[in-house]
A = this chain, B = another copy of it.
């Protein structure tokens, strides 16, 4: 028995509990003692689970008050991972590669789902230097209308920045090329413009 560690089980239960009760950002979750009693486990095990979730930035704890669900987009763990782990060269490479591929996927999606009027308006903003790389792709993510991809991308983006690689310089012209290609619904041109933006050679070994 006891194959699964108790604290992991508690994490699971918490997730179920949050889902069942429809709790959302800012809501309070049961106290440590109550959880301990309700789940028939020691309070220390409950704490192990809560501390882990806290470090992940999923919950927030205030002494004397309680524990609350948090908007987890916070850096918290990104910073931690940045300083802690990402020494693994292969992992870094995977992050960069994955981020690029997802961006390309979303460009493809956006191409078919984009609203011409919005695109036109966005082009003007880009032309006026009012959009940076982040905002540009955030918009692409919106247009691609795939929340799951967007979520994953947000995480990867934070990793990416924490890696502190070559800072992408601002490339207005590449942005405009991409938008134009999207407007013409030309996949090949879109990807070509993207590769130019990211300084990628055409799909060879390195994406």
Chain A positions near chain B (C-beta within 8 angstroms):
7-8, 11, 15, 18-19, 24-25, 44, 47-49, 51-56, 58, 72-74, 77-78, 80-92, 94-95, 97-98, 101-102, 104-105, 108-109, 112-113, 146-149, 151-152, 155, 159, 187, 203-205, 207
Contacts of A101 in B (CB 8 A): 105, 108-109, 149
Does B149 lie within 8 Å of A98, measured CB to CB? yes
Q: How many copies does the complex hold?
A: 2
Contacts of A80 in B (CB 8 A): 11, 56
Pick 19 A–B contacts, CB within 8 A, sort by A: A8-B55, A18-B87, A47-B48, A48-B52, A51-B52, A55-B55, A56-B77, A56-B80, A72-B81, A72-B84, A74-B91, A91-B148, A94-B148, A97-B149, A102-B105, A105-B105, A108-B207, A109-B207, A113-B205
Given contacts A58-B84, A78-B152, A85-B151, 16 further A-B contacts (CB under 8 A): A15-B84, A15-B87, A18-B87, A19-B88, A48-B51, A48-B52, A72-B81, A72-B84, A73-B91, A74-B94, A77-B81, A77-B155, A89-B151, A91-B147, A97-B146, A108-B203
A104 to B149, CA, bound (A): 14
Contacts of A51 in B (CB 8 A): 7, 48-49, 51-52
Q: Which of A11, A49, A90, A98 is packed against the most chain B CB atoms within 10 Å?
A: A98
